[in-house]
Structure 1
Amino acid sequence: MQTKTLLALALMAMPLMASAQKEPKTSDDFGVWTDISAEKKLSKKASVDLEAEYRTADNLKQNSRWSIGIGGEYKLTKWLKAGVGYTFLYNHVDKYTYHDEDPNKANYGKVNKQASYWGPRHRFNVDLTGGVSLGDWKVDLRERWQYTYRPEKTIAQRYDFDDEDWDSKQKTYSGKGKNVLRSRLQVSYDKKGLDVEPYANVELYNSWSVEKVRYTVGLDWTFIKGQKLGIYYRYQDNSKDDDDNDNRNMHILGLSYKVKF
Structure 2
Amino acid sequence: MSRILLNTKIWLLMLLLGVVSSVYAQDDDFTTWTKFKINHKIDSQFSVSGDVELRTKDDLNKWDRWGLTVGGDYRAYSFLKLGVAYETHLRDLGDSGWKFRHRYHLSATASFRYQWLKVSLRERFQQTFDSGDAETRLRSRLKLSYAPTKGIVSPYFSVELYQSLDDAPFWRAARMRYRPGVELNLAKRWSLDVFYCYQYEPSKGKHIAGIEVGYSF
**TM-score bracket for this pair, using the shorter chain length:** 0.7 to 0.9
CA distance in 1, matches of 2:127, 2:102: 8
CA distance in 2, matches of 1:90, 1:221: 30
Instruction: Find 1:146's aligned residue among 105, 123, 126.
Output: 126
Which residue matches 2:145? Answer: 188
CA distance in 2, matches of 1:117, 1:217: 33
CA distance in 2, matches of 1:62, 1:254: 16
Give structure 1 stretches of 5+ with no counterpart.
Answer: 1-25, 95-114, 152-174, 240-246
Which residue matches 1:228? Answer: 191
Q: Choose between structure 1 and 2: higher helix proportion.
A: 2
- Tell me the amino acid that sits aligned with residue 122 of structure 1: H
CA distance in 1, matches of 2:187, 2:120: 25
Give 1:226 shift.
1.8
Give 1:117 shift.
2.2
Which residue matches 1:249? Answer: 205
Give 1:92 shift.
1.6
CA distance in 1, matches of 2:189, 2:116: 20
Which residue matches 1:238? Answer: 201
The normalised TM-score by structure 1 is 0.70
Which deviations, in whole Å up to 9, do the C-alpha atoms of 1:48-90 show, x marking residues without a partner?
0010000001000010010101010000011111000001111
* Structural RMSD (CA): 1.0
Give 1:248 shift.
2.0
CA distance in 1, matches of 2:98, 2:205: 21
Would you say 1:258 and 2:206 are equivalent positions? no
Would you say 1:136 and 2:119 are equivalent positions? no
Which residue matches 1:205? Answer: 162
Instruction: Find 1:177's aligned residue among 105, 119, 134.
Output: 134
Give 1:116 shift.
3.7
Greater CA drift, 181-190 or 223-232:
223-232
- Tell me the amino acid that sits aligned with residue 69 of structure 1: T
Give 1:146 shift.
0.4
Give structure 2 stretches of 5+ with no counterpart.
Answer: 1-25, 165-169
The normalised TM-score by structure 2 is 0.83
Give 1:202 shift.
0.3
Larger radius of gyration: 1
Which deviations, in whole Å up to 9, do the C-alpha atoms of 1:183-217 show, x marking residues without a partner?
00000011012101111000000003310000000
Identity, in percent, stands at 35
- Tell me the amino acid that sits aligned with residue 63 of structure 1: W
Which residue matches 1:77? Answer: 77
- Tell me the amino acid that sits aligned with residue 218 of structure 1: G
How many pairs does the alignment contain? 186
Runs of 4+, deviation exceeding 6 Å? none
- Tell me the amino acid that sits aligned with residue 232 of structure 1: F
